[in-house]
Structure 1
Amino acid sequence: MSEQVEQREFQAEARQLLQLMVHSIYSNKDSFLRELISNASDALDKLRLEAFRNKDLEVDTSDLHIEIDIGATGTGIDKAARTLTIRDNGIGMTRDEVVELIGTLAKSGTGELRQKLREANQAGQTEELIGQFGIGFYSTFMVADEVELLTRKAGESSATRWESSGDGTYTIATVDDAPQGTSVTLHLKPADTDDELHDYTAPWKIRELVKKYSDFISWPIRMEVEKTTPAAEEGGEPTVTVETETLNSRTALWAKPKSEVSDEEYAEFYKHIAHAWDEPLDVIAMKAEGTFEYQALLFIPSMAPFDLFNRDGHTGVQLYVKRVFIMGDCDDLVPEYLRFIKGVVDAQDMSLNVSREILQQDRQIKVIRRSLTKKVLSAIKDLQANRPDDYATFWSQFGRVFKEGLISDGDNRDAVLRASSFASTFSESTTLADYVGRMKEGQEQIYYATGESKALLERSPHLEAFKAKGYEVLLLTDPVDEVWVGSVPDFDGKALQSVAKGEVDLGADDDADEAEHGDFTELLTWLKETLDEHVKEVRLSTRLTSSPACLITDTFGITPQLARMYRASGQEIPVGKRILELNPDHALVTGLRDALSASSEKDGLAETAELLYGTALLAEGGALDDPARFASLLADRLARTV
């Protein structure tokens, strides 16, 4: 029978600390079951280790396990009892350990701990308190009115019972008859008919939580459930039996050598954790050993999720610590441009906060992030080099997102650039390394054009001279391309040059250029004055062969396409005046020059200048400031030719 019964009162500050933990630290009350199962798993680990160390310890380690009972009675399951018990046959605790571990929050002198938690809660992080039994144990009061703990240390004859309602007092007693290990019984709060998702007397709910949080715990987690068999004969009574289920798979594929796991097993695991139907393109398994150990199993999907471009979408990398689920979308583990990666990271130790829910921003996370990023980039590069069909699938699904790394990840920019591919005037898909290998003798720049579609770019006036002289031009059509080309100055020493920005040198004859400029001086000056509202300069072009004119942006200016992107995101970015380049060999340009020299009436010629500017703007896919006026001028001009 019981002896040494003590009743103690919580200190006022401890009650406040308990309230802080229950109502502020944990964001999801489902977490209590994870905490109790984690404690039980730790107890089983400790018993196995102690049995190995102490050969004289008389314990049975043949069936170490965790049990979950819902309203267990001598005759079956009684949901109306509203009790939930989590039991293990692990190392157990002595009376002193119960007071030390569970009573941590109940002892006087917790003011410092309470203050640290308050400060940490305000700062968005907490102290490294994970691993203290008492911390996670107290999460039970989120769901229970009363909690009872019964425990017996392996090798001890007496046991300890601890009980509390979590408000004012708790009792602790020594008892004689109890099995080895620890059981925690929760007297659940009254049922809320409006909150069926948190009914912890429902076997389906317990299965769901174990599957989510503790599926890969290495010890079996068992639960007795009632099974109903229909009556064998009409009018007979159905048969109700109680069967034991093992709720967790215990199979952590990331802990196995890759050679021991089949492609089918990896595919099924990917579908399970990613909630996806597609097959993974690639499996990335890695293991880090040393002072900081972790394992990772990552997948490159073959199909983009619907929320890929939603910044509030799911990252997909799950974090475990010692096979215990911590969080489902850990965006600290991979950079945003790799948000399509799915998988699991399992660390042997991690600086978590008190609720195991939020990571500390520390060196461990940074180390994992750097390592995972390099491993994924290497895997993508391997697809590109050795599995072109799979790489083509990857790029079609994730290329637009992947290129965000050219902007955001300066440390790995070169690796991202080398693993990227682009359409060009020579190829549907080329790497920059292949482009450089095809460069013409004497070519010092990598030429590119940006626009809304490949078809539009291929017809762009800006490309005419490049095509005529056999220069390859990258055709960049994704919105992100407008941004990253400004962040990447060169590749292998070759500068990136837009065909629509600044001046280009395509090997033109300088003496011939000078002669041509002399012939067109009056026209260039007059057009600059006439179109002063729209252009900052008018000059002859070396990039046109068949079109009369094109518009060029200054070398460091903002392109109209980039300005439109900023406006679409709510940012008004002013676009400066651009440069109008003329084709000195085009009949329209030479005719306008001759007409200007011969005529004293320049009003009609001014309309021609507007049409010249407008057609140049339309040819690059731009928008007219006054479409109605342009249409009217064009209609009048066409009418005169009929």
Structure 2
Amino acid sequence: MAESATQGKQTHGFQTEVKQLLQLMIHSLYSNKEIFLRELISNAADASDKLRFEALSNNDLYEGDGNLRVRVSFDEEKNTITIDDNGIGMTQEEAAEHLGTIAKSGTADFFQNLSGDNAKDSQLIGQFGVGFYSAFIVAKKVVVRSRKAGADASAGVEWTSEGEGDFTLETITKENRGTEITLFLSEEEKEFANDWKLREIIKKYSDHISTPVEMWKNEIPESEGEDGEKIAAIPGEWEVINKADALWTLDKSELEDKDYQEFYKHISHDFDDPMTWAHNKVEGKSEYTSLLYIPKKAPFDLWNRDKQRGLKLYVQRVFIMDDAEQFMPTYLRFVKGLVDSNDLPLNVSREILQDNKITQTLRKGCTSRVLKMLDRMGKNDKENYQVFWDEFGQVLKEGPAEDMVNKEAIAKLLRFASTHTDNATQSVGFADYVERMKEGQDKIYYIVADSYEAAKNNPSLEIFRKKGIEVVLMFDRIDEWLLSHLNDFDGKSLVSVTRGDLDLGDLDDEETKKAQEDADKTFESSVARMKEVLSADVKDVKVSHRLTDSPACIVTDSSDMSSQMIEMMKQMGQPVPDVKPVFEVNMEHALVKHIDQVQDEEQYKQWVEVLLDQATLAERGTMTDPGSFIKRMNDLMLSLTK
């Protein structure tokens, strides 16, 4: 292939992140080094897909050669491997951008998440999508020669680097469009410059990508048969190594788990197998195929809202776009996969997809498919579902607010801790809770706090423990937001144990209710005295019927915004209402009885304020003025020594 350096070599320094990534890969992925070929073939196949799409509106880009393929060759003497495609190709500017920088949002988060543990870091690197840079796992030098489809032969570019601090760019003449990558293998990696080895890796990792992957089959010389007849020579030729069938177009009965697993790695660049998947062909009013995967691990940038996510979109097997977010709601943004529609036009754009009725049908179908897949896992494979929940549960909790249509289906998938379990693992579903409900119970009781410990030890749980009533413990930041959009499950209302007047319904017998009414009357004057002291700080003071061991607690009036929601809004910079709590006092508690007998009004005031401070601390984990609380405590302790 003719080439000439018409502009001389230009040397460029790698972006700092690229240098870090190269060093990490060389050390972290050493035990999994054969994936370099999978990554480079995937990139070459993507380049073919992109050309096929661009050529829909400009057939001249094919330059008279519409047979798209990837070719893998090697030179044992020179210790090189070459991956050559006739796809879209690159300009010099694109080569500098794609091969010299990492233009990904979340790059900083990626490096912050690295632990120094090679095994763990290799998983992160896989999520990040190392692609081209994986070449340096086995190569001491890499040369890339490329020309953009439709450009002049003289507009080719040669990119060269030894994977250290810099790379060179040079303008060349390249007759054929596409990209050719030559790896100059390290001495210890000679095993890869081998026909059998390369064929084995291609079959293992790239069997079901739709672009043919070819290797040269040597000439078979003329020979003589057993009967003395001459057998004609068979000339050498390029031979397709992979099946080159788009996996999703095949019948499920033709495919094994390993086929789905390797195809997942091809489209996601993840190094790990997926947790589960669903492959479906829909016929009828709308015709489409979906192949949807649930990963094992959450990506490091799961919470990065700027990152584009979505499914790969194909129309009649022609690749249209990556990250088509229109087919999956945001709360399922961890799902990987593709959708292939027979109904959308080949020239469909993101703008057209936005309001297209076919898009809405596909989105509805794909969403339903994922929710059913997760529901099956939750029922039949609790161990794996727990792994899923620990990785993606908080994202799924966004669902009820975003997707009212599927609110019930999402609610079945939610998991929490509860007083039924003895640790912070979120393993209790609402269906589990309902199954264990006591006779006469018609509500699902829950508490929201800042941590598992704060929820588990909240004084408001005391009456529930005494009566053996299970309470759901919620402590994720998003839980309060979730509950503002989820009011019931299976016809049972969700009720906070720290809001409003406690109503246990049929769980309280008539005798208990009568005793509570009597207590309210008996301590009427004591409550009024406390209310006078705290009038500026609380909305009301009441005799508590939910406390058994603690002296006091604060609760939120049923018509007011909860303290957790107020805190969340503050953190978002939103204006918040001035909400005062309701102060509940356990009049049977020894400390409260002591306080009720204090005659010194100033000292009485200090005692009541300390009670409120303690209750606030137990409920919210913080108080507005801890200095005053400490002073009051010190004064009271000193008074007891006199």
- TM-score by length of structure 2 reads 0.65
2:474 corresponds to 1:456: no
What do the CA deviations read for 1:373-398 (whole angstroms, capped 9, x no partner)?
A: 11111110100111111111111111
Of 344-353 and 624-633, more deviation after overlay is shown by 344-353
Deviation at 1:352, TM superposition (A): 6.1
- The CA distance in 1 between the partners of 2:248 and 2:68, in whole Å, is 23
Identity within the alignment, %: 39
Query: What is the deviation of 1:85?
Result: 10
How far the C-alpha of 1:404 sits from its partner, in A, is 0.9
Question: Aligned partners of 2:472 and 2:551: how far apart in 1?
Answer: 23
**One-letter code aligned to 2:444:** I
Pairing partner for 1:519 from 502, 505, 522 = 522
Residue 206 of structure 1 aligns to which amino acid in structure 2?
T
Instruction: Identify the range of structure 1 (428-437 vs 350-359) with the bigger mean alpha-carbon deviation.
Output: 350-359
1:414 aligns with 2:412: no
Deviations 1:130-166 (A, max 9, x none): xxxxxxxxxxxx968xx6xxxxxxxxxxxxxxxxxxx
Determine the structure 1 residue equivalent to 2:479. Answer: 481
Describe the superposition over 1:420-477 as per-residue Cα deviations: whole angstroms up to 9, x where unpaired.
Answer: 2222111352221221121112112110011122222111101000110111100111
Structure 1 residues 598-633: Cα deviation after superposition (integer angstroms, max 9, x where no partner): x2x411111111101000011123321111111111
Match of 1:206 in 2: 179
Instruction: Please say if residues 552 and 579 of structure 1, whose CA atoms lie closer than 8 Å, have aligned partners that are also in contact.
Output: yes
Residue number in structure 2 paired with 1:628: 627
Query: Which segment drifts farther, 473-482 or 256-265?
Result: 256-265
Q: CA deviation at 1:562?
A: 1.5
The amino acid that maps onto 2:452 is: K
1:403 aligned to 392, 397, 400, which one? 397
1:504 aligns with 2:502: yes
Contact 1:351 1:359 in 2 (8 A): no
Counterparts in 2 of 1:459 and 1:35: CA distance versus 1, 3 Å: closer
8 Å CA contact 1:30–1:198 kept in 2: the answer is no
User: Is the Cα–Cα contact under 8 Å of residues 223 and 247 in structure 1 kept in the other structure?
Assistant: yes
CA distance 1:474–1:36, change in 2 (3 Å): closer
Specify the alignment match of 2:533 in structure 1. Answer: 530
Q: Using the alignment, how far apart are the partners of 1:453 and 1:197 within structure 2?
A: 58
Contact 2:412-2:431 at 8 Å conserved across structures: yes
Aligned partners of 2:241 and 2:518: how far apart in 1? 87
Corresponding residue number in structure 2 for 1:552: 555
Question: What SS does structure 2 have at the residue aligned with 1:250?
Answer: coil
Provide the rounded CA distance (Å) in 2 between the counterparts of 1:409 and 1:256.
Answer: 32
RMSD of aligned Cα (Å): 3.9
Aligned counterpart for 1:426 among listed residues 416, 420, 430: 420
Distance 2:522 2:171 in 1: 85
Give the Å deviation of 1:321.
1.7
Where 1:574 maps in the other structure, the secondary structure is coil
Match of 2:112 in 1: none
- How far residue 554 of structure 1 moved from its aligned partner, in angstroms, is 1.4
Residues 448 and 379 of structure 1: CA distance in aligned 2, closer, same or farther (over 3 Å):
same
Alpha carbons 1:197, 1:205 under 8 Å: kept: no
Change beyond 3 A, Cα 1:290–1:527:
same
Call closer, same or farther: CA 1:356–1:510 in 2, change over 3 Å: closer
The residue correspondences of 1:149-228 to structure 2 (distance < 5 A) are 186-187=152-153, 189=155, 201=174, 206=179, 220=212
Which of structures 1 and 2 has the bigger CA Rg? Answer: 1
Match among 570, 573, 587 for residue 570 of structure 1: 573
Runs of at least 5 residues in structure 1 that lack an aligned partner in the other structure: 1-27, 45-62, 70-83, 87-141, 148-184, 225-241
Is the 8 Å Cα contact of residues 554 and 579 (structure 1) preserved in structure 2?
yes
Q: CA deviation at 1:257?
A: 1.9
| Runs of 5+ unmatched residues, structure 2 | 1-45, 72-85, 89-146, 160-166, 182-201, 217-235
Cα 1:251–1:30, aligned 2, differ >3 Å: closer, same or farther? closer
1:33 partnered with 2:51? yes
State the SS of the aligned residue for 1:279: coil
The separation in 1 between residues aligned to 2:587 and 2:238, in whole angstroms, is: 89
Query: Which amino acid counterpart does residue 640 of structure 1 have in structure 2?
Result: S
2:482 partner amino acid = W
Q: Who is 1:369 aligned against?
A: 363
TM-superposed deviation, 1:483: 1.1
Distance 1:568 1:199, change over 3 A: farther
CA distance in 2, matches of 1:380, 1:68: 37
Secondary structure of the residue aligned to 2:405 is: helix
Q: In 2 relative to 1, CA 353–323 (structure 1 residues): closer, same or farther, beyond 3 Å?
A: closer
Q: Work out the CA distance in 1 between the residues paired with 2:330 and 2:401.
A: 11
1:202 is displaced (CA, Å) by 10
Task: State the AA in 1 paired with 2:502.
Answer: V
Paired AA for residue 518 in structure 1: K
Is 1:389 equivalent to 2:407 in the alignment?
Answer: no
- Counterpart pick for 1:378 among 372, 377, 402: 372
Match of 2:468 among 467, 470, 478: 470
Mark the CA change 1:217 to 1:265 in structure 2 (over 3 Å): closer, same or farther: closer
SS of the counterpart of 1:496?
strand
